[in-house]
């Protein structure tokens, strides 16, 4: 680093910028021993040649659920006769899409885009498992999105009943949900409830001391020495604790580092953190918007333009834009409400009974910037 505290063109304060990416898998995984033990208990039968126990993994966003699964799946993948597949249900939100992803992971190529029935796809997967004598553990990550699309019960029924329709198929299921308002068991069909008795593993929000510890390790690995002083790290941790989402803190460190480099400084200052926070605090918003379909994006933008208006008025504008009917519109409103992007509250209108009023859960400009 330059002695005057200024960076030259070919210098960087980062030792490894990838450490601050959201999908980075840390070498050490702290403050989650109890949760890892619970998951290991459910998965251990697979190592002995038996079907693993099913598990329900819950907790607020950014509390280490996906990282824990990735860590344990990484350990299992090296064992003979054990296969693991993690499905991101925000991307693959139908039963067919889930099984297409499983097929792709098992066979290492994608199934044909059309012309293959679900029954055929399912049979190829189960035949492979029995022929190869392999045990499969499927993680349905962000399974709440399957519920939002009304696909959860059919998907789970197929996975949980596989051994009945295809003798010898051994499949265990891990459900991961960040929607604490969603009662997973209650929302499932009775036929699924009767066979789904999961182990429950809860990931609470990290406290501020744990956040300092975890982010401190990222700082050591990601920044060069003396780039970020302890008081600045404490401020990052405090802002992260306010959101309850560790991913906000990780993204905040990266953006603060980039702000320091923009100033050609060899140290991250508090001002870099405060400036970066305006963007980093919306990391969960960016993630939610990224998973929306085109009609959902259009509706969200329409609500942004008619924030606080009644559902009927918003529908008229949405219908003019898309031509979609009221039934589909109502389904989309419910989806945006459940993923936490809008608030659809019922209010009593004099002379007209109850009506829904639609408002954004985030600042309108923040949403527009991400659409």
Which CA distances in Å does 104 have to 86, 98, 141, 302? 11, 10, 17, 37
User: Which residue spans within the chain are E strands per DSSP?
Assistant: 55-58, 82-88, 135-141, 170-177, 199-202, 342-349, 353-360
Say which residue the tokens 């799946």 belong to. Answer: 73
DSSP letter, residue 140: E
Helices vs strands, H then E, count in the chain: 18, 7
Q: Tokens 């993204």 map to which residue?
A: 251
Q: Is 115 annotated as a binding residue?
A: no
CA distances from 37 to 40, 173, 200, 266, 313 (A): 5, 17, 12, 41, 52
**109 is annotated as contributing to ligand binding:** no
Question: Is residue 64 a known part of a binding site?
Answer: yes
66 marked as binding residue: yes
For the beta carbon of residue 186, count every other beta carbon within 10 angstroms. 7
Helix runs in 29-94, H state only: 33-47, 65-76
**In this structure, what DSSP letter does residue 18 have?**
G
Q: Is 147 exposed, middle or buried (0-12, 13-18, 19+ CB in 10 A)?
A: buried
Per 3-state DSSP, the chain is made up of helix, strand and coil in percentages (nearest 5) of: 50, 15, 35
Confirm whether residue 346 is marked as ligand binding.
no
SS3 358: strand
Distance CA 293, CA 332 (A): 10
Q: Which residues contact 77 (CB under 8 A, 6 or more apart)?
A: 83, 84
The 10 Å CB-count burial string (b at 16+, else e) for 152-177 is bbbbbbbbbebbeebeebbbbbbbbb
3-state SS track over 83-101: EEEEEECCCCCCHHHHHHH
What is the Cα 2 distance to its own chain's centre? 41
Does residue 63 have a known ligand-binding role? yes
User: Is 126 assigned to a binding site?
Assistant: no
Annotated binding site for ATP: 63-67, 206, 218
Annotated binding site: 63-67, 206, 218
């Amino acid at each position: 680093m330059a002695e005057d505290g200024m960076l030259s063109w070919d210098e960087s304060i980062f030792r490894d910028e990838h450490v601050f990416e959201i999908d980075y898998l840390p070498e050490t995984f702290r403050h989650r021993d109890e949760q890892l033990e619970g998951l290991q208990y459910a998965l251990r039968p697979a190592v002995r040649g038996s079907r693993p126990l099913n598990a329900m993994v819950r907790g607020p966003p950014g509390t280490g659920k996906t990282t824990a699964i990735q860590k344990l799946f990484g350990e299992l993948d090296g064992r003979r006769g054990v296969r693991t597949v993690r499905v991101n249900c925000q991307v693959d939100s139908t039963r067919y899409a889930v099984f297409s992803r499983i097929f792709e992971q098992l066979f290492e190529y994608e199934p044909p885009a059309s012309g293959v029935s679900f029954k055929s796809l399912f049979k190829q997967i189960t035949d492979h498992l029995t022929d190869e004598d392999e045990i499969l553990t499927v993680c349905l990550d962000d399974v709440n999105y399957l519920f939002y699309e009304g696909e959860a019960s059919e998907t789970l029924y197929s996975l949980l009943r596989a051994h009945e329709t295809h003798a010898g198929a051994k499949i265990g299921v891990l459900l991961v949900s960040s929607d604490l308002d969603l009662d997973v068991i209650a929302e499932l069909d009775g036929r699924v409830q009767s066979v789904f008795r999961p182990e429950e593993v809860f990931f609470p929000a990290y406290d501020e001391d744990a956040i300092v510890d975890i982010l401190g390790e990222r700082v050591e690995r990601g920044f060069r020495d003396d780039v970020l002083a302890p008081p600045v790290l404490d401020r990052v941790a405090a802002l992260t604790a306010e959101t309850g989402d560790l991913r906000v803190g990780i993204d905040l460190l990266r953006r603060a580092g980039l702000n320091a480099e923009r100033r050609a400084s060899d140290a991250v200052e508090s001002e870099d953190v405060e400036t970066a926070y305006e963007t980093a605090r919306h990391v969960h918003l960016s993630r939610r918007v990224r998973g929306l379909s085109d009609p959902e994006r259009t509706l969200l933008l329409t609500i942004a333009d008619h924030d606080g208006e009644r559902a009927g008025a918003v529908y008229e504008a949405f219908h003019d834009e898309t031509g979609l009917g009221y039934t589909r519109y109502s389904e989309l409103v419910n989806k945006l409400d459940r993923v936490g992007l809008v608030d659809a509250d019922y209010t009593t209108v004099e002379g007209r009974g109850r009506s829904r009023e639609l408002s954004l859960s985030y600042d309108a400009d923040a949403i527009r910037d991400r659409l």
